[in-house]
Structure 1
Amino acid sequence: MRKCGPLILTLLFIGLLGVSAQISPDCSGAIPICTNTPVNGGAYDYGDDDFNGDTKSGCLEQSTMAGTIESNSGWYRFTTMASGQLGFNIGFDSSEDWDFALYRTNDCSNLGDPIRCNFFDNSESSSFIGVGEDPTGMANSIQYEDWLDVNAGENYYLLVNNYSNNNSGFSIQFSGSIFETNPYDALDCSIISNLLGPPVAACENDTVALDATTPNATLYNWFMDTGIGYQQIVGENSPMINVTASAMYRVEVVTPTGNIYSDVQVAFSMAPITFMVTDEAYCLVEGDSFDLSQKNNEALGSQSPSEFIVSYHSSLSDAMNGFNKLPEQYTTTVGTETIYVRISSLANPKCFDASRQFEFASVEMPIADFPLEVFLCDDIVSTSIGDDTPSAGYTYFWSTGAITPTIDVYEAGTYDLTITNEQFGRACSETFSITVYISKAPVITDVLIDDLQQYNNVTILTDVEGDFEYSLDDGEYQSSGNFEDVLPGEHIVTINDLNGCGSVSESIMVVGFPKYFSPNGDGVNDRWEIVGMTELQDPIVFVFDKFGKLLGQIDENNMEWDGTYNGKQLPSTDYWFKLTYIDSEGQRVEAKYVENHFSLRR
């Protein structure tokens, strides 16, 4: 909807006409401004030093050749008529460097420290500085200070200062909640003493009524100045006049006690037109955002971005009122939504057009919710790779030429899969590389048993390369094949392939025995025995010499060997043994991985 008239706005006024009377270089002559007052002009020189030679005032610092804080300054004053949030935007050419300081005081000789202040050098080439929210939608701009909470009846002085010496002028817009709750009297206009009231900002095609009604008046004469001096408006002699053109207006009120003269500025700004904006679909990557400013040229058409500003909103109501501008870098979710476009005049944000909108679609980029590393077991012919839960509407293309979501592969290698999600006229594609490895089944090569008799260490060994985990007696798996504090007895050791290519288990026997014994009758190590035999069913130990000759036998009834054969003492040397027992399946088996030799010493 296009609008060219008064409206409740978050941005209440901005400069319109270059009238030199609207600039004061000194705080003592600060220009009074209020709601609906056009504020603009260039700032040239600084008049008297309002800081009395000080080198700092808040963030402002001495920086001129003259040794002053002020460079080219303009001073304004205003009084709040409501409580709430206050902000303002100072607009200027992006090639220039402007700064500001806001003081809460009613006395220029006692400014104190500014409550809001900005002294950045505009290296970002911004077009605005101020308090509150950047009207372009830029988030976290260093040129903006936090919103200001105000109460009714507070007096403020605003210094606008130019440091670039390039001076195309500036304008001021006010914003904040007090202009929503009090659209016509957020700022006190009684501080402007004038029969015709404060200057008036309006939009083209509006009609502004000027009222000079005065008791006892006998005649009214109206004049108009468009830059060549005041000219009388023929035939206009009533107390009120309706005007439609930008100019300075003057009224002469004739009374029996003398004539009264009053001047007022009326400025009309061009109203923008929003051109058609095409629907937009973009590929949504998680955490990414869309730059809405890409649509500005479409909305502006031939209109200059130096004269109009584009904002985007999620509802028509917000667009009409200028509320809740969407951030320039807009983050959204998958789906469609309607974006409403508002174009406002930089000269007067009350002149706007919110008649256009466009459909904004976020198309989800495909993601890999399937393994990108797959293992083909060496004892299996093939395996399936790809997206086994395909999304509706997605298309698939493999580097092999296949167009199915999954394919069967028979050998190791890298396979590329391109997935495309095409919606709302936008195709969003992503290519994923899936690597297939050959994985061998695990094999137990050896088990090292460090038999310490009561608490033993067991280490499972394999000569197969792979990603394995290890378990003892069906306990929790661990990455290492080493187990400590293993009690004597029968145990199950397991190697499992982490890539799903099977597992292997073996039964081992953990027993403890002395590495040597000395049957010399001194009562110390006179007999050789195996610790842990009682944990076994029907254990039998056979003792041999190095030639394999059976020398002795130990069982549950006779669990020791004294180092003799047929009653004769055997010589000092190494001997071997074999341990058998009845396993859980009732079969007699030989204990594996037992280090089965010891020494006899005399």
Structure 2
Amino acid sequence: MYRNRILIHFLFLIPCILLGQVNGCPEVKITGISENETIYIHCNSQDSCVKLVANYPETGTPTSYSIEQIDYTPEFPFSGLANPISVNIDDVWSDPKVILPFNFCFYNQEYSQAVVSSNGAISFDIGNINDNGFTDDADECPWEFNLGIPSPQFPSTAEPKKILNAIYGVYHDIDPSVGGQIGWQLFGEFPCRRLVVSYYQVPLFDCESINSTFQMVLYESTNIIEVYIENKATCPNWNNGNSVLGIQNATGTQGITPNGRNTGSWSTENEAWRITPSGPSNTQITWYDDVSGAVLATNQNEITVCPTTAHSYRAEVLYTLCDGSTILSSDTTTVEYTDTVFAAPPKEYIICDKDDIKDGITTIDLSIFDSELVTELNSINTYVITYHLSQQDAIDNVFPINPATSFINIDNPEIVFGRIEDLDLKCVLIKEIDITVSAGPANFDANVVSETFADVHQILATATGVDQYLFSLDDGEFQVSGFFDNVNVGLHTIIITDSNSCFKKVIELVIIDYPKFFTPNGDGINDYWNISHIEELVFANITIFDRYGKELIQFDQNSKGWDGLYKGTPLPSNDYWFKLLYSEKKPKGVQREFIAHFSIKR
């Protein structure tokens, strides 16, 4: 029996759902089992049935919460928001308070106002400010903390002013009096307005050369919270580098944080989290035959339909809010019969440039895609496969690529269209194949980006090209980010590769520093004081003084260092000062001066 494929068309009633990831709005979207917007039933299907899937945020009452990592795809800007906060002021809560046009339900209590901390938190405890409409001493926000959440004493037992009933995203001691932006703005329309609070390039207190950029998003109706972190730096020598991401209730008896993100010293970038109310379910889904109005299923996110003619189906999700009111979201699909299957999504494939000339042009055996075409058609009959340079050629079955086993791409990336036809059923499937030939990155590099002798050392490796590149420090695990924080002094190896291992580059970098003390007691350990890895400097001249400014010795980068003697006599335990004149290999020719002190311990 001849079987036509089924094409699903969608009527978007609410367009705010992101492809590949449902956002926090109370909205439903119907897709196929593989999240395709267009769903096909194969021509040789034995039952002409297809699965429909309802995608929507499944929430519960906000008596408890769950937390999950999500894709880092911030929808809203980090800078330039309509309502600036804490302009040039450090360690305060926002006064005036933020008035919400919707009630946000947090730990089963409704709130229509909140205060925002200059240190990265939102609290629904308006008692944090004196509410006189301007910032003063009474609006102070604590910066020192050592407790994790949940805790009724957070941020510390010594701090009389507690930070409870709050969202921490990310709470750490930052200093907007030095620079950066903090602001809030409302986006969207009922029933999915969002309060967005952003912190943009705000310097860390006592480490003003580094900063943090992050954002909190509060959703109307679903009461979902999202945190987006573009960059969260750490100042390890201040407040123990402590930071925390999460939430806790008004008494500090309930709270939740992601693994590794409770109070402690940590850094990250391009990271996002969603905190979702997870008490008893407050959503109900119902599937309908959109033509007759008959109920097909309830409380099922997936259903199977078997139409014999063109037909429409509807999914409705009912959200029950904290105040007992409801919001209804729906999406409708139309199932239509057609002749040719256009398989989605396109196949994305990266192949290594195997030629001696790394120009992104190479020979490709297209038959490696045959098995995928066979699987998608789901055919058990005799079939024929061809490849074409345009979709229209594939539809018309003209100008096949011949031979398909030794195709040389013209463009990079190259798009070809695979065509498989079931010769018994006369059923055709066409699939787009996007081929990228990886010849390695166009540019790559790695550098120490922190200042010489900085308190915190950082390395940044970069690579730009058509592929996704991965970075490793000292044979550690590969990561997408090329940023490495809190790197130790010494020689380091950076490895840059791509996701298909077409390319590998090893770069060595050296971080120099100076010891804060040495022990010249003749035991052969730490008997000489010198700049670590001084041999990596192009030029170095070190002069050492006693605490009264008397010059004791000079030496250069070729010296073993100072042994703590002056004219053959051991100097006592004390503080000593040094002045270093030096030139680094990068940037060449730039002479710098650095003055600091160290100690002799005998």
- TM-score, normalisation: structure 1: 0.33
Which of structures 1 and 2 has the bigger CA Rg? 1
